[in-house]
Amino acid sequence: DTEVTQTPKHLVMGMTNKKSLKCEQHMGHRAMYWYKQKAKKPPELMFVYSYEKLSINESVPSRFSPECPNSSLLNLHLHALQPEDSALYLCASSHPGRPNGYGYTFGSGTRLTVV
Partner 1 sequence: DAKTTQPPSMDCAEGRAANLPCNHSTISGNEYVYWYRQIHSQGPQYIIHGLKNNETNEMASLIITEDRKSSTLILPHATLRDTAVYYCIVRPSFTGNQFYFGTGTSLTVIP
Kindly list the residues in this chain that would bind partner 1 in the complex (CB under 8 A). Answer: 4, 31, 33, 42-45, 48, 50, 55-56, 88, 90, 92, 94, 96-97, 99-101, 103-109, 111
Nearest CB to partner 1, comparing residues 16 and 101? 101
Residue 93: closest CA among 21, 26, 46, 9: 26
Contact residues for 70 (Cβ-Cβ < 8 A; gap 6+): 52
Nearest CB to partner 1, comparing residues 53 and 70? 53
Contact residues for 31 (Cβ-Cβ < 8 A; gap 6+): 48, 49, 50, 51, 93, 94, 95, 96, 97
Instruction: Provide, rounded to whole angstroms, the least separation between the CB of residue 76 and partner 1.
Output: 15
Instruction: Provide, rounded to whole angstroms, the least separation between the CB of residue 50 and partner 1.
Output: 6
Give rounded-to-5 percent helix, strand, coil for the chain. 5, 55, 40
> Alpha helix locations (H) across 38-99?
none
Nearest CB to partner 1, comparing residues 64 and 89? 89
Nearest CB to partner 1, comparing residues 17 and 37? 37
Instruction: Provide, rounded to whole angstroms, the least separation between the CB of residue 80 and partner 1.
Output: 26
| Residue type, position 72, single letter | S
Instruction: Provide, rounded to whole angstroms, the least separation between the CB of residue 18 and partner 1.
Output: 25
